Amino acid sequence: MESMTSIERVQNLLRRQPVDRIAVHEHFWGDTIKDWCAQGHIQPGESLEDHFGYDFQCAGPLNMVADLDFEPEVVEENEETMLVRDGNGALLRRYKTHDTTPEHVDFRVQDRAGWEEYIKPYLKPEHRRIDFEAYRQARDAARAKDRFFTCYAVNVFELMHPVCGHEYMLMGMAMDPDWIKDMVATYAQLTIDLMEILFSEVGYPDGIWFFDDMGFKQRPFFSLDMYREIIQPGHKLTIDYAHSKNIQVIMHSCGYIAPLVPGLLEAGIDCLQVIEVKAGMDLIELYKQYGDRLSFFGGMDVRTLYTNDKAIIDRELERKIPIVKGNYGYLLHSDHSIPNQVAYENYRYFVERGLELGSYRNGD
């Protein structure tokens, strides 16, 4: 097959149609890139898309914090951490020294009354929620290199927990499901309204990459029934909007979400990302069950990369890629993101060897 542009390649992979090779993209912990810059492998500010030859260019232009005028307030600070109250009314502790997700200390919203008083009135589709310029620049860069351009957006489950925390949200799903359904509907509509403003003004993306972490080790946070009743309506609304504009949808979720895949398919996703092996996700099993209806992006165990042993990396790639590329629906990515224990040359090797195995040029 002739060489394809990244846009052609990814579009076909998301429809499971013939391509020249699998596509590639990656996410990194901030410290990894810092270290690789310090080691001289990457120049500060250099495009990772150019450096590693990625098929994607992405922008995350939407600000979904409730109160945009609220100046984050430092409640407590020591040498290592800062405790900050944010515009969602959440009290979060973050490290100053390195990159990680914050500790959820307290939430102003603990029930429906808190949601209706502190958050819902603020969630309006205002222009100032959108970084038009970042989106425009990323889109232009993608177009210049024929890369597949995706708009990152957080979907409903991930939008709710910064407001009320996992525990209140999950208890709310049991105790007051109508409250959670109201949050789901509000955030889904706000997402669509903001996208419509942005896309009609600057131009449409090729894909939307939704982020919605719905699982942890060996289980989803909720049952498939609960997903269908409470979360799926929000997914369906946002995915239907994308499809109505001929935009393909990638859904990211960390954790073990295999039991939710039938529901995600009903919601209309085109591709599942990130397929976290250490949480129990099994790429080959998913491919066998759903490979005719769904594309897969990720699922390469990052723990094999930080062994920094090429033979182990080879085994992981060779065990999976020849199988999962079968339906022209596989895109290369680790099963989460690359930590700084991974040596630059070994990551580079992972990409090169993965793409070699993912080539269709020799009739593979």
Partner 1 sequence: MADNDILARIALCTERGKINNAAPYPPDLKGEDGVDELTEKALNDGVDPNDILTQGFMEGMGRVGKKFSKNEVFVPDLLMAAKAMTAGMIRLKPHFESGAAKHKGTFVIGTVRGDLHDIGKNLVRMMVEGGGWQVIDLGVDTSPEKFVEAVKEHPGCAVGLSALLTTTMVNMEETVKAIKAVSPSTPVIVGGAPLTQEFCDKIGADAYSADPQGALDYLADYTAA
Catalog residues that contact partner 1 under the rule CB under 8 A: 29, 31, 81, 93-95, 98, 100-104, 166-167, 170-171, 173-176, 216-223, 226, 255, 259, 276, 278-279, 302-303, 306, 339-341
CB of 35 to partner 1, least distance (A): 12
- How many C-beta neighbours within 10 Å does residue 70 have? 14
Q: Which is nearer to partner 1, 15 or 181 (CB)?
A: 181
Q: Is 68 left (phi over 0), alpha (psi -120 to 50) or beta?
A: alpha
Beta carbon of residue 37, minimum distance to partner 1 (angstroms, whole number) = 18
Nearer to partner 1 among residue 47 and residue 97 (C-beta): 97
Least distance to partner 1 from the beta carbon of 255, Å? 8
Minimum distance from residue 320 beta carbon to partner 1 (Å)? 19
Q: How, if at all, do strands 330-332 and 23-24 pair? A: parallel
* Cβ atoms 331, 22 nearer than 8 A: yes
Least distance between partner 1 and beta carbon 294 (Å): 21
Q: How far, in Å, are 53, 84, 89, 251 from residue 321 at the CA level? A: 19, 44, 44, 20
Nearer to partner 1, 171 or 202 (CB): 171
Q: Which is nearer to partner 1, 15 or 94 (CB)?
A: 94
Nearer to partner 1, 5 or 81 (CB): 81
Taking the complex as a whole, the smallest distance from the CB of residue 190 to partner 1 amounts, in Å, to: 25
Nearest 5°: the CA angle 198, 194, 86 is 120
For partner 1, give the closer residue by CB, 38 or 175: 175
Q: Which is nearer to partner 1, 171 or 323 (CB)?
A: 171
CB of 149 to partner 1, least distance (A): 30
The distance of closest approach from Cβ of residue 100 to partner 1 in the complex, given in angstroms and rounded to an integer, is 6
Q: Closest approach of Cβ 219 to partner 1, in Å?
A: 6
Residue indicated by tokens 């419509």: 196
Sheet holding 56-59, edge to edge: 23-24, 330-332, 295-298, 271-274, 248-253, 207-211, 148-154, 56-59
Torsion sign across C-alpha atoms 279, 282, 283, 287 = negative
Cα-Cα-Cα-Cα dihedral sign, residues 320, 337, 351, 298: positive
31 versus 131: smaller Cβ distance to partner 1: 31
* Closest to partner 1 by CB, 222 or 297: 222
Q: How far apart are the first and last CA of the chain?
A: 11
Our CB check for partner 1 shows the closer of 29 and 135 to be 29
Shortest Cβ 74–partner 1 spacing (Å) = 17
